[in-house]
Chains A and B, each alone.
Chain A
Amino acid sequence: MTDATPDQIAGGVDADRLARLRAGLKRRHARETRFKWYGRLAIGAAMVFLAILLIRIVEQGHTAFYAHTVTIPVYMDPARIDRAYPQGSNFEQLAAEQELARWGIIDDAAGTKAAQMKRLFSSELKYTAAELVAKRSDVIGQTVPIAVPLSDDADLFLKGEISKATPEDQRRLTDQQITWLERMKAEGVIGAHFNTILFTKGDSTQPEMAGVLGAVVGSALMLLVTALIAIPLGVGAAIWLEEFAPKNRLTDIIEVNINNLAAVPSIVYGLLGLALFINWMHLPRASPIVGGLVLALMALPTLVIATRSSLKAVPPSIREAALAMGASKTQTVFSHVLPLAMPGVMTGAIISMAHALGETAPLLLIGMVSFVPGVPHAIDQPVSALPSLIYIWENASERAFHERTAAAIIVLLVFMIIMNAAAIILRRRFERRW
């Protein structure tokens, strides 16, 4: 339509003005196109950032999902194994020396070669062998194959993360260790397989033995506490504010308060948790109960806001019909309004729980930065949660923890995606438009 305007008025206007209008129009259209492109570029930039973020995490993390195991025959030398106390025997040394002997390599007096060989195996070898001897003492004097994970550095080399091109003094493996690894690989005793340890073990100081299960259970316990506290309180508060609250100053204060609490930085909740729950109430540090309480207080405002909007969406005619049939206010709300608002309430609850699952800063302040081995089983014992485990691993100096950090992030994101997808499905299936 704008195209036609200059031509229409051209009849009565001199050519000069027409030319100016035409030129101006061209400029304006160019400006329009440019502006459109700014918008496209902005969206493109946001999408590119998202893509880089996700691609980088998968790129860094996918290698952690498989690991290498070596199977070596160990002669259970009766002279070097204490039958009564197998844990005390030096199985690692035994295996390393035997491996060298098999290849006909003669060690020097200080045993440096055996020490280097030992460093290719995970120290888990010791526990695997000791367990075997403790269970079946008849293996002493026999040669048994023992399968153990490779040490983190050897594993990284086989994944191509440690390059032979790096000068020897700058890499974590010596030339000799690399030759040995390649020889073992050629012999076919090294196998790559899915890294089950990552999903079945708790944290460990050895990267090759570290897993996320402890943190997943820790997060689950914490979210359980959060859900049990935040959902009833949040829904209750929302019902009162939306259905019962009289219009007065107190109600206004509560409303403004909830809106402001939703925007308080999460670290402030951490300070509150530290001062109130740990320093004052003496609840155990880094426990799911404290973490759950802090996250519950944090999730409360968003939960209230979400629940209120779904209560608001229930049309007043429902309430009026119930009241007209003689139901009391409470009966109206609990038998008619709330059931109809339930899909929205559940969606809001799941989304706020997903948000709580990813929250890290308050957890650091209540002590979830320390190393917790194993898998927790009680809500008053120290645990680490998934996000805090990511933080701990990211700070670890071993390089093998870097790929595991990215893997833990993938696990966390998968949980969040599942929760959000559940919320979306709930909304799609049960949402009613009035």
Chain B
Amino acid sequence: MIWILLLILAALGVAAYLGGRTLARRRSVGAKPHSRPGQHGAYALIWVAAPALLVLVLGSVFSAPLERRLTAVDTPPAVSALDPFRRDAFFADAHRVGRGGQALQIWERPLAEQLPVEARRMVRIERTLEWGGAIAAILAAILGGLFAMSQIKPRTRARNRVEGWIYGALFVCSAIAVLTTVGIIASLAFDSFRFFQKVPVFDFLFGTQWSPQIAIRADQVGSTGAFGAVPLFAGTLLIMVIAMCVAAPIGLLSAIYLSEYAGRGMRAVVKPLLEILAGVPTVVYGFFAALTVGPFLRVFFNEIGLFLVGGPLDGLGQYLALVQNQMALTAGAVMGIMLIPFVSSLSDDILNAVPQSLRDGSSAMGATKSETVKRVLLPAALPGIAGALLLAMSRAIGETMIVTMAAGLAANLTFNPLDTVTTVTVQIVTLLTGDQEFNSAKTLSAFGLGLTLFLVTLMLNIVAHRIVQTYREQYD
């Protein structure tokens, strides 16, 4: 259906281009035309394509909500009496039956009779919308084409008009970036708002108990549902700190070595290797953490523990002997490895931006290279490096796969790197990949967490960019 429609529209477009060109040639006989025939053709083509595309885009965005609205109008009382979750399931089943499939559930007496009726009604609404959309698109194309044809005169400035359209299209492309931001904020804010109606913001931000499991049945155990996100923030912070402890010194020192000491040959080898490290997908790091680093660290600490058990540090030994794979240290260390190339390449850029005259001046005063680096370069580059580290932190906070695969799910409020902690991103994934309940605080809380994550990383990024920017201007 959609392919046939697109084919028809493409044919109309080609016809408009060829027709416009011929018409322009014919009408400009004897006169001195402003634009070339091809430009008139392009103008006609745009007037066919643009309205049709607009109709199609609006149609695909709004058809689903419109369909829901239309279905809701004539809902039989038996169906509208259902709770929202069941009603959605009923409509989903009706949709399935309407498409010639099987219902997933067995519906009882009044509903069972309604099902085929509703199915037919839904299919009818869907067909109407589909056909309506297709006809509207074709009509828009034809009307646009006719308008363009009427405009073909020798004096029409077709080239300028086409260029105006191109300008507009390019502007729309850049505006999409803004729309994406608006979309992110709107979707996060909308669902977060619904979440905060159920759970007060204060409880969410400052509560120390996180257990999003809510009882579906009244007799279920451990099921009040607590949404205090402090343990998640603490876990995220802990893992981020561990990651920065790995990434900051290694990344910074290797950047210094590469930009100040390394010869051409070494740079040519090391830089691409660092780029490989940067290009490894995070799911691979997650696998590495879960099956290599985790077991290695666990065995390491268990051995130390067994060595200490019975000695003066018996308590510590007992604890270390029982350390699990999923400790904060595993996820943090691997995340640190992931961030090394990020920190290194950013710092490299920043160090290279420090003017050579500073280095020369320092050398001329008899300073060694390391003294130049420590007393001249680093102080000069400090704001830039701080910005780079902030960006790395924001990456660490938002990183998902490593922590999902290697950190745990237990929301412990602890700063012990050998304990299992959970992070904001892990919880978002867990809440949204399991069985989702309609409109429950559990599902919605993921959006609350997402909004917090977005705002925090956004703030870090803005601050970091501003610092880097001011610093750059200093030496430009």
Contact = CB atoms under 8 A, between A and B. Distances in A.
Interface in A227-265: 232-237, 239-241, 244-245, 253-254, 256-261, 263-265
B299 to A, nearest CB: 15
A330 interface: yes
A367 to B, nearest CB: 8
A394 B405 contact: yes
B291 A60 contact: yes
B287 A405 contact: yes
B226 interface: no
Interface in A263-309: 263-269, 271-272, 274-276, 280-283, 297, 300-301, 304
B398 interface: yes
Q: Is the interface of B mostly helix, strand, loop or mixed?
A: helix
B257 A390 contact: no
Contacts of B371: 28, 31-32
Contact of A39 (B261, B287, B395, B465): B261
A40 interface: yes
Contacts of A301: 177
A46 B280 contact: no
B287 A261 contact: no
Chain A: interface size category:
35 or more
B286 interface: yes
B368 to A, nearest CB: 4
Contact of B428 (A241, A267, A304, A420): A267
Contacts of B160: 328
Nearest to A41: B253
A422 to B, nearest CB: 13
A19 B270 CA distance: 41
Interface stretch (A108-116, A117-125, A163-171, A408-416): A408-416
A187 B47 CA distance: 76
A198 interface: no
Contact of A416 (B188, B251, B279, B432): B279
B292 interface: yes
A42 B163 CA distance: 54
A328 B177 CA distance: 27
B447 interface: yes
Contacts of B191: 275
Nearest to A389: B283
B391 interface: yes
A103 to B, nearest CB: 38
A281 B61 contact: yes
A31 B280 contact: no
B282 A268 contact: no
A302 B371 CA distance: 37
A42 B257 CA distance: 9
Interface in A384-431: 387, 390-391, 394, 402, 405-406, 409, 412-413, 416, 420
B291 to A, nearest CB: 7
B57 to A, nearest CB: 11
Contacts of B190: 275
Contact of A402 (B291, B446, B457): B291
A266 B400 contact: yes
Contact of A271 (B159, B170, B395, B446): B446
Nearest to B172: A236
Interface string B249-270: 1111110111001000000001
Interface in B445-462: 446-447, 450, 453-454, 457-458, 461-462
B366 A2 contact: yes
Given A237-B170, A263-B394, A267-B425, A272 B187 contact: yes
Contact of A237 (B64, B174, B400, B429): B174
Nearest to B187: A275
A390 B287 contact: yes
A146 interface: no
Contacts of B373: 35
A259 B97 CA distance: 47
B242 interface: no
Given A32-B368, A52-B292, A413-B284, A265 B177 contact: no
Contacts of A222: none
A176 to B, nearest CB: 31
Contact of A254 (B178, B344, B447): B178
A245 B394 CA distance: 30
A39 B405 CA distance: 32
Interface in B162-207: 162-163, 166-167, 169-178, 180-181, 183-184, 187-188, 190-191
A268 B458 CA distance: 11
B93 to A, nearest CB: 15
Nearest to A278: B64
B177 A258 contact: yes
A28 B432 CA distance: 58
A403 to B, nearest CB: 11
Given A263-B391, A274-B432, A42 B167 contact: no
A318 interface: no
Nearest to A395: B405
A10 interface: no
A36 B370 contact: yes
Contacts of A402: 291
Contacts of B282: 358-361
A126 to B, nearest CB: 26
A419 to B, nearest CB: 10
Contact of B453 (A46, A237, A268): A268
A56 interface: yes
A265 B174 contact: no
Contacts of B130: none
Contacts of B288: 53, 56-57
A358 B405 CA distance: 16
B100 interface: no
A329 interface: yes
B115 interface: no
Interface in A306-350: 328-330
Contacts of A105: none
A237 B461 contact: no
Contacts of A269: 184
Interface of B: 60-61, 64-65, 67, 159-160, 162-163, 166-167, 169-178, 180-181, 183-184, 187-188, 190-191, 249-254, 256-258, 261, 270, 273-274, 276-277, 279-288, 290-292, 337, 340-341, 344, 366, 368-371, 373-374, 391, 394-395, 397-401, 404-405, 425, 428-429, 432-433, 446-447, 450, 453-454, 457-458, 461-462, 465
12 contacts: A1-B366, A31-B371, A57-B287, A236-B174, A258-B174, A267-B428, A272-B188, A282-B67, A361-B404, A391-B286, A402-B291, A412-B284
Interface of A: 1-2, 5, 28-29, 31-32, 34-36, 38-43, 45-47, 49-50, 52-53, 56-57, 60, 232-237, 239-241, 244-245, 253-254, 256-261, 263-269, 271-272, 274-276, 280-283, 297, 300-301, 304, 328-330, 354-355, 357-361, 364-365, 367, 369, 387, 390-391, 394, 402, 405-406, 409, 412-413, 416, 420
Given A35-B374, A240-B170, A301-B177, 5 more contacts: A28-B371, A39-B257, A43-B270, A330-B162, A354-B279
